[in-house]
């Protein structure tokens, strides 16, 4: 008979969550650590790494922290080598680190567009390539790329972000085409609108975008980072060993919903 605990047990596994010092990344980290994984998180800010270490410790998690920029091939190689030496080979990678710039296409400097592409699309490739080498040799591994509603939809002012997240969805497919045969599962998570620092500018203080999220989200609420962390645990577990190239949308039903008008006459 199946043992559910074994199915979701990550004991002995090394997990890296990029940008895992707060928000969705921290929720993913906490979920993986709760299942027994030895958790590593990176960031580009030593202060945030120190704060995160203290925050994780409140949950009894002794997180391994290190500072490297996911857009730097050299930095990523050094960081992953350090993890492999100090902790062990990476079994689970969550490509979570990301940025957004909300600027109309016509006003967005090319350098800004390029920066978003570098962090949100090229960096997941850099990190995945570096850890996949060992996963392929060991014939096992889990890679989870943090996609978005913008992997499917466009939206005003987030062109670079949508281009990156759309590309990340298809990069996830292509990683699957090339690496699944080595028993590496590569999937994406597509969070809906989640209450984090990244969405605070369009969520807090009575921002009108709140109304849009409420009407477009059938669950009628913003998601919590933990909602995404739970999905990461599933995709990192044995329960998802035959799930590959899939983007698991954790969106409260947004993608199922065209929208509605208050007071619509349902008799028509
Ligand atoms: P967040 O609060 O902005 O956190 C992003 C993390 O990535 C931060 O820890 C940040 O570090 C780190 N980071 C940024 N650039 C980096 C770099 N070059 N190297 C290393 N780390 C870097 O965002 P979030 O809301 O938790 O989102 C996390 C992921 O989910 C992102 O990929 C985002 O696009 C995606 N997502 C978010 C939502 C949402 O509604 N919140 C929905 C869909 C998808 P610093 O703080 O030091 O800059
Ligand atoms: C925005 C938001 C979104 C979310 C997320 C939705 O400005 O539209 O920041 O992009 O972060 O990606 O899935």
Summarised one tens digit per residue, pLDDT across range 184-195 is: 999 999 999 999
pLDDT at 264: 79
**Mean pLDDT computed over 97-123:** 98
Does 2 score more than 90 pLDDT?
Answer: no
Share of the chain above pLDDT 90, in %: 94
Q: What is the pLDDT of residue 1?
A: 85
CB distance 192 to 249 below 8 Å: yes
Q: Kindly give the interhelix angle for 123-138 and 159-179, rounded to the nearest 10 degrees.
A: 20
Catalytic member of 56, 64, 153, 161:
161
56 is catalytic: no
The residue whose CA has the least distance to atom 3 of ligand 2 is 193
Q: Which residues line ligand 1 (CB under 6 A)?
A: 18-19, 21-25, 42-45, 48, 69-71, 96-99, 119, 146, 148, 191, 193-194, 196-199
Q: Would you say residue 267 has pLDDT above 90?
A: no
pLDDT tens-digit readout, 111-160 = 999 999 999 999 999 999 999 999 999 999 999 999 999 999 999 999 99
Nearest Cα to Cα of residue 77 among 123, 119, 112, 121? 123
Write out the two tokens for 126: 């850099």
Residue 265 has pLDDT above 80, yes or no: no
pTM of the entire structure?
A: 0.98
**What was the pLDDT predicted at 86?**
98
**Mean of pLDDT over the chain:** 97
What is the rounded average pLDDT of the residues 56-70? 98
d(C-alpha 28, C-alpha 23), whole Å: 9
What is the per-residue pLDDT for 268?
A: 65
Residues 216-243, mean pLDDT to the nearest whole number: 97
Q: Where are the beta strands (DSSP E) in 36-183?
A: 38-43, 64-67, 92-95, 141-146
Q: pLDDT value at position 44?
A: 98
pLDDT at 89: 98
């Amino acid at each position: 008979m199946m043992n559910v605990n074994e199915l979701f047990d990550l004991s002995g596994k090394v997990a890296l969550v990029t940008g895992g010092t707060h928000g969705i990344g921290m929720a993913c980290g906490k979920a993986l650590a709760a299942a027994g994984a030895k958790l590593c998180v990176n960031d580009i800010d030593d202060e945030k790494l120190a704060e995160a270490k203290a925050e994780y410790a409140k949950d009894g998690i002794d997180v391994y922290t290190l500072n490297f920029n996911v857009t730097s091939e050299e930095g990523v190689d050094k960081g992953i080598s350090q993890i492999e030496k100090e902790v062990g080979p990476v079994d689970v990678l969550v490509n979570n680190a990301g940025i957004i710039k909300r600027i109309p296409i016509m006003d967005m400097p090319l350098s800004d567009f390029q920066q978003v592409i570098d962090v949100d699309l090229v960096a997941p490739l850099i990190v995945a390539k570096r850890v996949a080498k060992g996963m392929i040799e060991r014939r096992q591994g889990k890679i989870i790329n943090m996609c978005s509603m913008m992997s499917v939809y466009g939206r005003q002012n987030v062109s670079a972000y949508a281009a990156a997240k759309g590309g990340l969805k298809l990069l996830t497919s292509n990683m699957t085409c090339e690496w699944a045969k080595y028993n590496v599962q590569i999937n994406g998570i597509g969070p809906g609108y989640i209450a984090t620092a990244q969405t605070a500018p369009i969520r807090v203080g009575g921002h009108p975008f709140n109304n849009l999220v409420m009407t477009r989200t059938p669950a009628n609420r913003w998601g919590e980072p933990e909602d995404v962390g739970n999905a990461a645990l599933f995709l990192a577990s044995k329960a998802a060993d035959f799930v590959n190239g899939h983007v698991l949308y954790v969106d409260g039903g947004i993608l199922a919903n065209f929208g509605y008008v208050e007071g619509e006459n349902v008799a028509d």
